[in-house]
Amino acid sequence: MSAIADNATRRISPLLERLAEDREDRVRALVIALLGLASSAIYLVLTLRMSFLEFFPGPGITVDFVKMLGPDWQENSAFLLGSYAGLFVLFALALWSVGTRGPLTLAALLGSALAFSLVLTFMYPPQAVDFIHNVADARTLWRFGDNPMVVPPDANGFPVGQSFGGESAPYGPFWFLLLFPVVLAGNSVELALHILKFYTSLYYIGSAVLIYLIARQLTPGRELFALALYAFNPFVVLRVAGNGHNDVTMFFFVLAALYAFVNERWILVLPLLVASALIKYTGALVIPPILLAGYLWAPDRQQYINQTLVGAAIAAVFGLLVIALFWDGPDTYDVIRRQAGKFITSGPLILAEQLRLEAGVSEADSTRIARWTGTAAFAAVYAGLLVALWRSRGAPLALISCLAFSLIAFNVLAVTWYRPWYMLWPLALLPIVPGRWAVAVIFAISLGNMVFDLIEQYRFHFEFFREHYHWSLVSPVLPAFLPAILAWLAGWIATRSVLLVRSGPASSPTL
C-alpha cells in the first residue's frame, strides 16, 4: 500500500504543481491586464487632449503640447504631471505583479503594449514635431520619387508648415526605405500619419519581444520582469507610440544583433548593426564593444572570426547598396554636417555659455572648446567601459551594460543637440541587466527625462530663470542627467563594478 501511495503521490504532485502555476499565471495575467487597461485610459485622456483629429492639419505650422493644451501653463503642468504620476504608479505595480514565468502573463504584457500603441496612434506628437517631417519624407520618396536626403519636404508641399521643412532629413538612407508603408495611404496625408505612427509602434513591440528573448536566455526567470521594464515604461511608451520617434527603429536592429550574438550567430551581427547605423548614425557606437565582446567570449574564436568576416562582407555590400540608392554627390550629407555644428539644450552648451559669459571667450571658440572637451571626456569614459568589458571577458550581460552606459555617457558628455528621446537607447538595454541598480538607473532616466520638455518650455515663467540665463540652460539638463549619474555611481559602489554586473549570479530572480 505504501508503494502504491508513493507512486500516486509522484504522479499527482507534478499535476498539482502545474495547476498551481496555471492558477498563479491566470491571476497575474488578470492583474497585468487591469493595470494595462488603467494605463490605456490615461493614455486615452492624453490623446483626447492632443489628438490628430482636432489639431491636424490646423493653421500655420505643426504644433506642440504648449499650443494644444492652451496658455494656462500651471494647469497644463498639473495635468501632465498628474498623468505621468498615475502612469508611473501603474508601471511600478506592473513590475511588482509579474512573476518568473507564465504564458498568460506574457500575453497580458504584450497585449497591453499593443493597446497602448493603438490608443496613441491618434495622438498628435506633443513633443516631437519632427514626426511630421518623417511623414513628409516618406511621401517624398514613396509618393513623389524624390531623394529625402537632399529634397526637403517643402519641395513637394504639405498640408501644414513644419519645423525644418526647408531642410532634408538628417537620417541614414535605410530609414527612408523602411518608410514604405506610407504607400498604403495613397493621397491621404492624414491616413499616412496614422499608418506610420502605428508602424513605429510595431518596432516598440518587436523590441519588447527581443528583450524578453535575450533576458530569457541570459537570466532565466526574470524575462517577464525585463519585458515589463520596457513595455510598461511610460517614458518609452509616450516617446515611441505617442511621439513616433525613429530611435526605436534604430535600436530594434541593435537588439536583433544582440539576440544573434547571444545565440552565436556571428554572421548576422554586423549586417544588423550596419542596418541600425544606416537609420541613425549613432548606432555605430555599439559596434566596437560588440566586436570586442565576441572576440573575448566566443567559445570557438576561429569560428567567430571567420563568420564575422563573412558578416562584415555582407554588411559592406548591404551598406554600399543602400547608400548608393540615395547618393547625390557630396551634398547628400550636407544637412548632417550642418546639424552636427548646432548646439541646443545639452551639457556642451552649458559649458560653451559658461566660457562665453564668464571667461569672455568668443562664441566660435567657446563652442569649439566645449565640443572637443565633451568629445574627449566621452572618449575617456568609453575607453574605461571597454576596459571593464575586457576584464569581464566579454560576457553578454557585461556587454549589454557596457553599451547602455556608453550611450548614457555619450548623451551626457558629447551630444551638443540633446533631446530626451535619445535616452530610449540605453532604456532598450538596461532591462536585460539584472539587479536593483539597473532598475534604479531606468527609473532615474525615465522620471528625469519625462519632465524635460515641461521645464524647457515653461522655465521662463519663473523670474529666477529670466534673470539667470545660465541656470535656465541647466534647469532641464539637470534632472535629465544627474539622477541617472547618481544611480549609476551608487550602483558602482554597491556592486564594485562600473558595469553593475557582479561576477556571480544575480542576487534576485525578479530584479
DSSP 308-344: HHHHHHHHHHHHHHHHHHH--SGGGGHHHHHHHT--B
Give 318's Cβ-side CA count (13 Å radius). 18
Angle at 446 between CA 442 and CA 447, to 5 degrees: 120
Q: Is 193 left (phi over 0), alpha (psi -120 to 50) or beta?
A: alpha
CA dihedral 459→462→468→474, nearest 10 degrees, is: -30
Specify whether the CB–CB gap between 297 and 253 falls below 8 A.
no
SS3 61: strand
- Kindly calculate the radius of gyration of the chain based on its CA atoms and give it in whole angstroms: 24
How much is the pTM?
A: 0.93
Alpha helices in 50-146 (DSSP H): 52-55, 65-69, 73-97, 103-120, 130-142
Query: Grid cell 530611435 — which residue?
Result: 247
Q: How far apart are CA 266 and CA 276, in angstroms?
A: 16
Q: Tens of pLDDT along the chain (511 residues)?
A: 566 556 645 656 564 455 466 889 999 999 999 999 999 999 999 999 999 889 888 767 778 899 999 999 999 999 999 999 999 999 999 999 998 889 999 999 999 999 999 999 999 999 877 898 899 999 999 999 999 999 988 888 888 877 777 788 889 999 999 999 999 998 899 999 999 999 999 999 999 999 999 999 999 999 999 999 999 999 999 999 999 999 999 999 999 999 999 999 999 999 999 999 999 999 999 999 999 999 999 999 999 999 999 999 999 999 999 999 999 888 888 888 777 778 888 999 999 999 988 888 888 899 999 999 999 999 999 999 999 999 999 999 999 999 999 999 999 999 999 999 999 999 999 999 999 999 999 999 999 999 999 999 999 999 999 998 889 999 999 999 999 999 999 999 999 999 998 754 333 444 6
Q: Are 475 and 455 in contact (CB under 8 A)?
A: yes
